[in-house]
């Protein structure tokens, strides 16, 4: 079984289409780690396209915000406005689908969480210390997370030491049961690691390999649609820089 692991699509249809085209034929099932909408211009289209592939899917903090399950007062102004816009345009079908998704689940030796196993909707695992604490909050060998929009792998080398491994692309990495890991595939629709290309990963459950991938997409097409809907210029511009 080969898994296409994607996260943080954020209503960016051009990016999602590019990932699906790039990975074509290389996977049997999608695992999606949450934040299907928010920020981008195509919420309903992204929900519909993802659903066509019958994924294992989680909800993220932006999905919760749009459903009214999360207070948006802690969102910054741009993110808040994007949530309010998406609340206006989202259709009943999309809303019902998002509402059906959990923020955390388990698939064999993998725990899947949108943000972190400790706080599945909220916590940002952006450093070794936060990763280290989180290893106590899941029992499986591996945990997959999104939320930070940065591809990275944290490995629990010992109780005191967590290794940080930045991504190496197109080079399958062997996952071993005796080295517990928290892994982030990066973001499809709004990368934040200074690389504007859509980020995703391929997980092979037979060989137990993890492969990071990046693919260029038509950023201008997404930006044009964001401007048309009056979404913030700062959100439009950041797609170009991967931030
Ligand atoms: Zn996100």
How far apart are the CA of 15 and the centre of ligand 1, in A? 14
| Per-residue confidence (pLDDT) for residue 74, from 0 to 100 | 84
Residue 160 has pLDDT above 90, yes or no: no
- Please state, for a pLDDT cut of 70, what percent of the chain lies above it: 100
Residue 154 vs residue 25, higher pLDDT: 154
Residue 105 has pLDDT above 90, yes or no: yes
Reduced to 3 states, what is the DSSP secondary structure of residue 13? helix
| CB contact burial 57-95 (16+ within 10 A = b; e otherwise) | bbbbbbbbbbbeebebeebeebbebbbebbbeebeeebb
Structural domain total, the chain: 1
How far apart are the CA of 179 and the centre of ligand 1, in A? 27
Pairing label, strands 29-32, 2-6? parallel
How far apart are the CA of 28 and the centre of ligand 1, in A? 24
pLDDT category of residue 230 using cuts at 50, 70 and 90: very high
User: Which 8-state DSSP code applies to residue 127?
Assistant: S
| Per-residue confidence (pLDDT) for residue 73, from 0 to 100 | 86
pLDDT category of residue 51 using cuts at 50, 70 and 90: very high
How far apart are the CA of 149 and the centre of ligand 1, in A? 6
The parent domain of residue 152 ranges over 2-241
| Per-residue confidence (pLDDT) for residue 158, from 0 to 100 | 87
How far apart are the CA of 180 and the centre of ligand 1, in A? 24
In the predicted model, what is the mean pLDDT of residues 208-216?
A: 98
User: Which residue, 85, 78, 75, is CA-closest to 43?
Assistant: 85
Beta strands in the chain (DSSP E): 2-6, 29-32, 56-57, 104-107, 110-113, 142-145, 152-156, 162-165, 173-174, 181-184, 198-204, 209-215
45: CATH: 3.60.21.10
Partner residues linked to 201 by β-bridges: 5, 212
How far apart are the CA of 191 and the centre of ligand 1, in A? 9
């Amino acid at each position: 079984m080969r898994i296409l692991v994607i996260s943080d699509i954020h209503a960016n249809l051009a990016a999602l289409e590019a990932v699906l085209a790039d990975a074509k034929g290389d996977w049997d099932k999608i695992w999606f780690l949450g934040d299907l909408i928010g920020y981008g211009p195509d919420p309903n289209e992204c929900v519909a396209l993802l659903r066509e592939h019958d994924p294992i899917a989680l909800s993220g903090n932006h999905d919760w915000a749009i459903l009214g399950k999360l207070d948006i007062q802690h969102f910054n102004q741009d993110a808040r406005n994007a949530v309010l816009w998406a609340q206006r345009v989202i259709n009943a079908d999309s809303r019902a689908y998002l509402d059906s998704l959990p923020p955390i689940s388990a698939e064999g030796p993998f725990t899947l969480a949108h943000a972190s196993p400790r706080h599945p909707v909220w916590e940002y695992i952006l450093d070794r210390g936060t990763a280290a604490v989180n290893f106590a909050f899941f029992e499986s060998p591996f945990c997959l997370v999104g939320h930070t929009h940065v591809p990275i792998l944290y490995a629990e080398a010992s109780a005191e030491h967590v290794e940080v491994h930045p991504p190496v692309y197109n080079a399958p990495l062997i996952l071993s049961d005796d080295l517990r890991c928290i892994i982030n595939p990066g973001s499809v629709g709004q990368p934040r690691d200074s690389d504007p290309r859509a980020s995703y990963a391929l997980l092979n459950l037979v060989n137990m390999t993890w492969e990071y991938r990046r693919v260029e997409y038509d950023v201008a097409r997404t930006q044009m649609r964001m401007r048309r809907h009056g979404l913030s210029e700062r959100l439009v511009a950041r797609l170009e820089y991967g931030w």
